[in-house]
Chains A and B, each alone.
Chain A
């Protein structure tokens, strides 16, 4: 039995999501290889070889893999699948975009956003996390995306073998044009130790400055509820929730967020949750370890001042 884990990386460096996906693969048992598909991705491949429990790292290089275009990823992975029973990747936008293509080409039903694996049973949230489905696959090959917040880092100290392979990718009909990445000195949302998120209660995009100030004090990432994204306050890549990102930081601070189930699905695995909301009936207080019923426009400047007092 062998699993192919597809690395999350930007060529220059490897994202922690890769190591967490390896943990999920370990739960399945069997050998684990990592595919680093990219362009000029040798640094990411070297980092992948150090992850504990990995047999081999396969580095496939191609122009069309520089940004892991879905059509090119499909061709690359399907060509490798003779040697594997399972292909597994994190449920980030990169992998979610092509994994269904791989599944369809293998005539397999994808098992999406897995949060637990026991034996041959996969646990996955459905209905925005309102229910958990436990499923088994009857397919010969399995295509699995995993919610990395549900799995720990695999640890380091491995010494996997490395090999380079070339990919044969024909005309994909898709051309990369440009990218506008959100520039931020703050930590990445899914990997941050502290996340502070704003909701519709923030009232405007400008008011997010109040949250950003505190994020910078704490070295935290800034997130948002779907309602805040829908209202146009912040870009979609801030979104925490079932249709956005899943996060599980040490501390999650929810500000002006009512706590719709779709938001809770993306943050309820946080170690500690603090919530500030003026509505004491807000559902967010049902999951918060520490709740403060207050007007956020008064509470946030106070929070800034109090944090300063304790050295931030």
Chain B
């Protein structure tokens, strides 16, 4: 099956987000950016499916600025076949991204879309579900384990109470959770090889998608800091404070 993996370039996992002084958003100038960690898990899973012979072709797609090409190259260095880069300098909302991804999925004839359950910048957790709905495909959210069958895929899902297994008819969308796999590091030869893999250049206009934002950002602020309390000497003091001062035990 043909597998499409949307990847997003986001502020690196280890970098603390800083709010701009004018409260217009988070400062992304001169900070390390990388692939959304949940998308990395999706890339890894696609490559494993290819290695196992269940995926015939793997395509990474990113909707983002010129530099999102680096993110696609990372996916290609991890082992994916080729890329599609839909270039835009706007910070698109999930609904617009889902509409673009739908067009890409249809153009590519994708049978499975593997993607992160949420992007760690805007934390909407919405693109996968939206994409599945506008394609009218079933979805397996928060995948812990995947097993490809004949025209189907079985998804073991992480849910609040434990694990749930569903069987989806292909084509389908699957979103990844933490324990699905541990993404590999790209080797130097593979990074070199990835530079020669093709990336198709597109724009939102190519797909006639209206990307006008639906939400107006009034402001972005730092969260109120919680004040540090006291250090206690020993366990007995801790229990005493919890019982007699805070009254919570």
Measured CB to CB, the closest approach of chain A to B29, in angstroms, equals 15
Measured CB to CB, the closest approach of chain A to B22, in angstroms, equals 13
Q: Count residues on chain A whose CB falls below 8 Å from chain B CBs.
A: 95
**What CA separation (Å) do A273 and B134 show in the bound complex?**
43
**What CA separation (Å) do A128 and B26 show in the bound complex?**
12
Indicate whether B204 reaches chain A with its CB closer than 8 angstroms.
Answer: no
Whether A237 and B249, one on each chain, are in contact in the complex, defined by CB atoms closer than 8 angstroms, is: no
Q: Is the interface of A mostly helix, strand, loop or mixed?
A: mixed
Whether A291 and B178, one on each chain, are in contact in the complex, defined by CB atoms closer than 8 angstroms, is: no
Q: What residues of chain B lie closer than 8 Å to A80, measured between beta carbons? A: none
Indicate whether A98 reaches chain B with its CB closer than 8 angstroms.
Answer: yes
Whether B230 and A291, one on each chain, are in contact in the complex, defined by CB atoms closer than 8 angstroms, is: yes
Q: What residues of chain B lie closer than 8 Å to A74, measured between beta carbons? A: 133
Measured CB to CB, the closest approach of chain A to B217, in angstroms, equals 6
Residues of chain A whose beta carbon lies under 8 Å from any beta carbon of chain B: 67, 69-71, 74, 92-94, 96-105, 107-113, 121, 124-139, 172-182, 190, 194, 218, 226, 229-230, 232, 235-237, 239, 242-243, 245, 250-251, 261, 268, 271-274, 276, 280, 285-294, 299, 302-303, 306-307, 309-310, 312
**What CA separation (Å) do A175 and B245 show in the bound complex?**
53
Residues of chain B whose beta carbon lies under 8 Å from any beta carbon of chain A: 11, 16-19, 26, 38, 93-95, 98, 117-118, 120-134, 137-142, 144, 154, 157-169, 172, 177-179, 213-223, 226, 228-232, 234-236, 238-239, 241-243, 246, 248-249
**What CA separation (Å) do A83 and B153 show in the bound complex?**
37
Whether B215 and A137, one on each chain, are in contact in the complex, defined by CB atoms closer than 8 angstroms, is: yes
**What CA separation (Å) do A173 and B155 show in the bound complex?**
13
The A/B interface has a contact count, at CB < 8 Å, of 276
Known interface pairs A100-B129, A109-B94, A135-B216. Does A127 touch B238 (Cβ–Cβ under 8 Å)? no
Whether A310 and B239, one on each chain, are in contact in the complex, defined by CB atoms closer than 8 angstroms, is: yes
Whether A289 and B229, one on each chain, are in contact in the complex, defined by CB atoms closer than 8 angstroms, is: yes
| Interface residue from B17, B162, B232 paired with A127 (Cβ < 8 Å) | B17
Whether A93 and B142, one on each chain, are in contact in the complex, defined by CB atoms closer than 8 angstroms, is: yes
Known interface pairs A110-B126, A134-B218. Does A181 touch B162 (Cβ–Cβ under 8 Å)? yes
| Interface residue from B95, B160, B163 paired with A108 (Cβ < 8 Å) | B95
| Interface residue from B159, B166, B228 paired with A174 (Cβ < 8 Å) | B166
